[in-house]
Structure 1
Amino acid sequence: MMNRVTVFNPYPIKGCWVRGALALQALALVALAIPTAAYAGQYGDIETFAAVPSAPGFPEGISVQGNRVYVSGPATAGTAGTGPSQVLVYKRNSGQFESTITVAGENTAFEHALSCNAVDRKQRLYTLTAQLFAPPEERKGILRFTKKGKSYLQETYSEAFPNLPSCAFGPDFPGACSLPNDLAFADDGNLYVSDSFQGVIWRVPPGGGAPLVWLQSPLLSGGGQFPIGVNGIRLDPSRQHVYFSVTFSAANPGVGAIYRVPLVQEPVAADVELVHEYAQGEAPDGFAFGRSGNLYVALAAANQISVLAPDGSEISRIASQAGDDIPLDAPANIAFDNARRSLLVTNHASFNPNPDHFAVLNVFVNDVAATLAKPSLP
C-alpha cells in the first residue's frame, strides 16, 4: 500500500512553461516568501556558470560551501581503463576554476565513478564512489575530503555498500551491484544514501561506518534499459520527511516520481507517500528545496526543471531558450547560489553524450536554499 499526499498535477504536461502565466505564478509565490532579489533577470533565465572538461566529464554531484562549488564526476559507465574520478572546485562568485580533487585508491581497471556530494558544518566534503564489477576488496563507500592548505586530505568515511538480493541485475550478479547515487545528512549526523540499482535507502551512522538498510520497497526499484530507481534524496525543510525521486519505475519505466517517507527510525513501505508523478518519461533526478517551499526537480530526459509547490502540484517548467550558450542537457542535480538567488545545475549530458554540454548552468528562480542539515561530525 502507498499513501498519497493529495491530488496533484492539475495541468497537462505539454511543452515548456518558462515565461508566461505559470512562471509568473511561481515567481509571485517566491516573492511573497522572501525579499526581492538585487539581480534583475527574468524567472527561468539560464546562463553558463562553468564549463566542465571532457575528462572527467559527465558531472553529476554539486554542492556549495561558502565561495566554493564542488562538482563531482564522472557519473557514467565506460570508465574502466581511464583516469581516476575527480571533484572539480569552482569559485561561486565568478565560476572560475580553482582546483581539482583527484580520488586516490580507485582501481581504474574497473568501472569507477563519483556521483553526488555533500558538505558538513566543518566544511568537509563527502562524495559517493562506485566500483562496479570490482572485487569486494576494491570497493569503496563514502569518501571524505578535508581541506589542508592548498590540498585535500582523503579519508574513507563508510564501508562499501553490499550487494542485496534486490539487485536490478539479479541476486547472483557477480560484481558490485550497488550504485550509491545521492546523499543527505540529517541534523543528528545520520546520512541517508539512495542506491539506484538495489531499490534501497541506506543509513550511515554519525561518524561513518557500516551502512544499514533504512528503507526498502519495490517502489524504489528501477526498470527498463537503464534501471535507475531511487535517485535524488533530500530532507524537507521541516526535517519531518525524507524526499526521494525514482527515475525509471520498475513497474513502468516511463513513469518517474517524487515520494516522501517520515524521518523515523524504522519506516516501512506503507509509510511511503506519492508527492508527484511524472508519467511522460521525463526521468526525475536530483532536486533541491527553496526557502519559498518550492521543490526544484531536474528532469533528465525532458531537459527541464520542474517546479513543485509545497502541496506537490507542478506550478512551472523551466527549459532552455534559443539564445542560451549551453542548453539544459540531462540535468542531474541542483544546488543553490543564494547570492544570485538561482539554481546551479549540473548538465550530465548523458543520453546523447556531447562534451560541449558538460557544464554547470545558472538558472534564475528568485529563491534561495532551504537550510540544509550540516551536522558537526567527529
Structure 2
Amino acid sequence: MKRPLSSLLTGLTGLATGLLTVGLLSAPAPVAAAAAAPPKWTTTVFASVPAPGYPAYVFKHRNSRVYAGTYVNSSSRKASKVFEWTAGGTLQRSWALPRQLRDGSHGVQVANQTHDGKLVLLETSRSAVITLDIRTGRFRTIARLPGGGVPNYATWGPGGALYVTDYGDGVIWKVSRRGGVTEWFRSTDLDGVEFGTTGIVYRPQKRDFLISQQTSQTAGLPTDGHLFRLGTREGGRAGVLSTLWTSQPGELPDGFGIGRSGHIYIAMAGLTAQLVELSASGRELDRFPDTPFTGENGSRIPFDTPCSATFSGTTVLVANQSAVQGDPSHQAILAVEVGERGRAPYLPKGAGFR
C-alpha cells in the first residue's frame, strides 16, 4: 500500500481492533525427533517495526536477512528508514533515507535486490529507484519515474530489466541496467479509483507477470480489486492482460507470494483484513482468518492493513501497516504458516545497474 496515509481514509470505514492471545499447543515428541510443523495459518509476531513505522512490504534477501522500509504520514518530518532483521527476527541495523522531500507523505519500499546483494529501494517523495549497499551504507539514485509516478513494487524480468508498478497511474515502468526509464505497458485496467496497482512478480517458466490491482475503473464495481496475468512476447514486449481473480469490494489486494505448488497468497489491505490463497489458475481456495473485518489471527497483534505475503521457509511474512488506525503497537511483521515453501523471486545474473 503506497499512498499518503490520509487518502486511505477515503472509502474505508476503518479496521476493527480486536486483539486475541492464543496459546499454541504442541504435541510432545521424542527428543531426537524434529519438531512438528505448526498447523496451517498459525500466526506469530516476527518483529515489531520501530518508528517511523508503517511498513508496507517485507523483503527476504538471499543472505537470509529480512528487510522492510517505512512510510511517514504528512504530519511528520521524520526520514523514512530501512530496517534489517536476522532470519529469526532480531533487529540488526537501520538506515535513514537521505534527500527525501518531507513536506508531505513520504516512504520507502525495499522492493528487491541486485545480483551482487544491494537492496533495490523505491522512494515515493522523489519517485526514485535507489540502491543501498548494505556493506557500506551507500545510497545511489538509479532513476526517477516521470510525471511524479508512485513507485510501488518491482520485479526483475525479461532482458535483465527492472519492472516497476505505479500506484498513481496505470503504467508498468521498465528501468534498464543503465537507469533509463520507459513506459513498458499501459492499460486502463490498471487505473485504480484512488487505490492503484500494487504487487508484481515475474514467472520465468511461464514468461509472464502476475500483477495485483486494488480497485478498477473498467469492470465490475470500482471497489473490486484484481489479480492479472500479463504475458510477454518475443523480444520482451508486453502481451495481453487477462484477469485471473477478482476480489470482493473494498478488499484492496496488495502484495503476494507464490508457493512451490503454484498457489498464490495475497494480502487484503482493505476492510476484510485477510490473506487469500488462490490456485495457480486464480481459483479461490481459502481465506484466513475465517471471520473477516476483525483481523483476529491468533497472535497478540491482529491484522491491521496487512500489505504483503513474502515467503520465508514455510511461512509468509506479512507487513502490518496499520495505515488507518496508525497504531504503533500494530506496526509489525507477522509470520503466517502456510505449509509449503515459496518460489524464490526471479534474480537473473545480470540483475543490477551499471
CA distance in 2, matches of 1:334, 1:359: 13
Deviation digits for residues 302-361 of structure 1 (CA, Å, limit 9, x no counterpart)? 2111000112101111225464211111111121112xx111110011133222110000
- The answer on 1:155 being equivalent to 2:140 is yes
Do 1:298 and 1:333's aligned partners in 2 also have CA atoms closer than 8 Å?
A: yes
Q: Kindly provide the CA deviation profile for residues 179-221 of structure 1, in whole angstroms up to 9, marking residues without a partner as x.
A: 111101126421110001111110111x241211111111000
Equivalence for 1:84: 79
Question: 2:70, 2:82 within 8 Å by CA — same for their partners in 1?
Answer: yes
Could you tell me which amino acid in structure 1 is paired with residue 165 of structure 2? S
Q: CA deviation at 1:365?
A: 0.6
Q: Note the alpha carbon deviations across 1:51-107, whole angstroms, 9 max, x for none.
A: 112x22110121111231001111x5415x511111111111x21100102111213
1:334 equivalenced with 2:309 (yes/no): yes
- Distance between the aligned counterparts of 2:229 and 2:93, measured in 1? 36
- In 1, are the aligned partners of 2:224 and 2:246 still within 8 Å (CA)? yes
Unmatched tracts of structure 2, length 5 or more: 1-33, 290-294
Alignment partner of 1:309 is 2:279:
yes
| Range 319-328 or range 252-261, more displaced | 319-328
2:343 alignment partner in structure 1: 370
Conserved? CA contact 2:267–2:274, under 8 Å? yes
Q: Conserved in 2, the CA contact under 8 Å of 1:199 and 1:230?
A: yes
Kindly state the Cα deviation for residue 39 of structure 1 after the two structures are TM-superposed.
Answer: 4.5
Question: Runs in 1 of length 4+ with deviation above 3 angstroms?
Answer: 320-323
Q: 1:91 to 1:187 in 2, by over 3 A?
A: farther
Deviates more, 1:317-326 or 1:282-291: 317-326
Cα distance in 2 for residues equivalent to 1:98 and 1:282: 34
8 A contact 2:74–2:104 mirrored in 1: no
Q: Does the residue aligned with 2:329 lie in a helix, a strand or coil?
A: helix
Task: Give CA-to-partner distance per residue, 1:216-247, whole Å, 9 cap, x none.
Answer: 11100011xxx122111111262511110110
Q: Name the counterpart of 1:109.
A: 103
Aligned counterparts of 1:352 and 1:64: Cα–Cα separation in 2: 27
> Displacement of 1:112 after TM fit?
2.0
Amino acid at match of 1:106: Q
1:360 to 315, 333, 337: 333
* TM-score for both structures, normalised by structure 1: 0.77
Measured at CA, do residues 214 and 363 of structure 1 come closer, stay the same or move farther in structure 2, by a change above 3 Å?
Answer: same
User: Are the counterparts in 2 of residues 245 and 286 from structure 1 also a CA contact under 8 Å?
Assistant: yes
Match of 1:43 in 2: 40
Runs (5+) with no aligned partner, structure 1 = 1-36, 132-138, 164-175
8 Å CA contact 1:187–1:373 kept in 2: the answer is no
Give 2:83's aligned amino acid: L
Q: How do residues 1-378 of structure 1 correspond to structure 2 at under 5 angstroms?
A: 39-53=36-50, 55-65=51-61, 66-74=63-71, 77-78=73-74, 81-92=76-87, 94-131=88-125, 139-148=126-135, 151-158=136-143, 160-163=144-147, 176=148, 178-186=149-157, 188-205=159-176, 207-223=177-193, 227-236=194-203, 238-251=205-218, 252-264=221-233, 265-267=236-238, 271-301=240-270, 302-319=272-289, 321=296, 323-338=298-313, 341-376=314-349, 377=352, 378=354
Do 2:43 and 2:298's aligned partners in 1 also have CA atoms closer than 8 Å?
no
Over the aligned positions, Cα root-mean-square deviation in angstroms equals 1.9
Deviation at 1:114, TM superposition (A): 1.1
Structure 1 residues 67 and 86: CA distance shift in structure 2, 3 A: same
Contact 1:239 1:263 in 2 (8 A): no
| Rounded Cα–Cα distance in structure 2 between residues aligned with 1:316 and 1:58 | 27
Kept after mapping to 1: 8 A contact 2:195/2:252: no
Question: 1:322 and 1:285 mapped to 2: Cα distance?
Answer: 18
* 8 Å contact from structure 2 (residues 213, 254) kept in 1: yes
Matches of 2:114 and 2:318, distance apart in 1: 20
Paired residue secondary structure (1:333) = coil
SS in 2 for 1:331: coil
Aligned partner letter, 1:161: L
Identity of aligned residues (%): 27
Number of aligned residues: 307
* Structure 1 residues 219 and 77: alpha-carbon distance in aligned structure 2, compared to 1, 3 A threshold: farther
C-alpha distance in 1, partners of 2:165/2:131?
A: 17
